[in-house]
C-alpha cells in the first residue's frame, strides 16, 4: 500500500513538474509570473529529488540490515558447526583413551598370566569339548 502511494506520488510530482515547465514556455521571460512558475517548478523538482534520495537511503538501510542479519545467521551456523565438531573431537578423544586403557590393562593381564605359566588345562576332557559333568556319577580310580 505504501509503495503504491509512493509510485502515485512520483507520477503526480512528475506530471506537476512537466505542467510547470510547459507553463514556463508560454510565459515571457523576466515577468513576475515567469519567475513564480520557475520557482514553483524548481521547488517541485527539489522535492522530487529529495524524495528519491530518501527512498534510496531507506532502501540502502534495509539492504544493509538484511545483509547484517544474513551475516549473523551464517556466523551462528558456523559457530554451531564448530561447537559440534569440538564436542565430537572431545568425545572421540575420551573414547579412544578409555579403549586404549582397557586394551592396555587387558594386555598386561594377559601377559602376566602367560609369563606365570599361562592357562593350563587340567583335564584332557576339556580339550575334546566334553564336559566334566558327564562322568560325574562314576567313581574314579
Instruction: Enter the C-alpha cell of residue 21.
Output: 515547465
Determine what percent of the chain falls in helix, strand and coil, rounding each to the nearest 5: 85, 0, 15
Whether the pLDDT of residue 26 is over 60: the answer is yes
Question: What's residue 123's pLDDT?
Answer: 55
DSSP notation for 40-79: HHHHHHHHHHHHHHHHHHHHHHHHHHHHHHHHHHHHHHHH
Whether the pLDDT of residue 106 is over 90: the answer is no
Q: Which of 75-79, 82-86, 96-100, 122-126 has the lowest mean pLDDT?
A: 122-126
Q: How far is CA 94 from CA 82, 87, 100, 103, in A?
A: 18, 11, 10, 14
Q: How far is CA 86 from CA 76, 91, 94, in A?
A: 15, 9, 12
Whose grid coordinates read 521547488? 43
**Average pLDDT in the 49-59 region?**
89
Average pLDDT, the chain: 80
Question: What's residue 42's pLDDT?
Answer: 85
Q: Where are the domains of the chain?
A: 2-85
Cβ neighbours for 44, distance < 8 A, ≥ 6 positions apart: 13, 16, 17, 20
Whether the pLDDT of residue 110 is over 80: the answer is no
Question: What's residue 96's pLDDT?
Answer: 96
Instruction: Enter the C-alpha cell of residue 81.
Output: 558447526
Cβ neighbours for 40, distance < 8 A, ≥ 6 positions apart: 20
Which tops the pLDDT comparison, 111 or 47? 47
Amino acid at each position: 500500500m505504501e509503495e503504491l502511494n509512493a509510485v502515485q506520488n512520483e507520477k503526480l510530482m512528475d506530471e506537476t513538474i512537466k505542467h510547470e515547465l510547459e507553463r514556463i514556455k508560454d510565459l515571457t521571460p523576466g515577468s513576475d509570473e515567469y519567475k513564480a512558475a520557475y520557482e514553483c517548478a524548481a521547488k517541485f523538482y527539489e522535492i522530487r529529488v529529495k524524495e528519491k534520495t530518501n527512498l534510496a537511503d531507506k532502501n540502502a538501510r534495509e539492504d544493509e540490515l538484511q545483509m547484517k542479519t544474513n551475516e549473523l545467521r551464517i556466523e551462528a551456523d558456523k559457530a554451531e558447526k564448530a561447537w559440534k565438531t569440538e564436542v565430537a573431537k572431545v568425545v572421540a578423544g575420551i573414547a579412544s583413551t578409555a579403549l586404549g586403557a582397557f586394551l592396555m590393562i587387558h594386555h598386561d593381564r594377559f601377559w602376566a598370566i602367560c609369563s606365570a605359566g599361562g592357562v593350563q588345562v587340567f583335564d584332557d576332557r576339556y580339550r575334546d569339548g566334553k564336559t566334566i559333568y558327564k562322568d560325574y556319577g562314576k567313581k574314579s580310580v
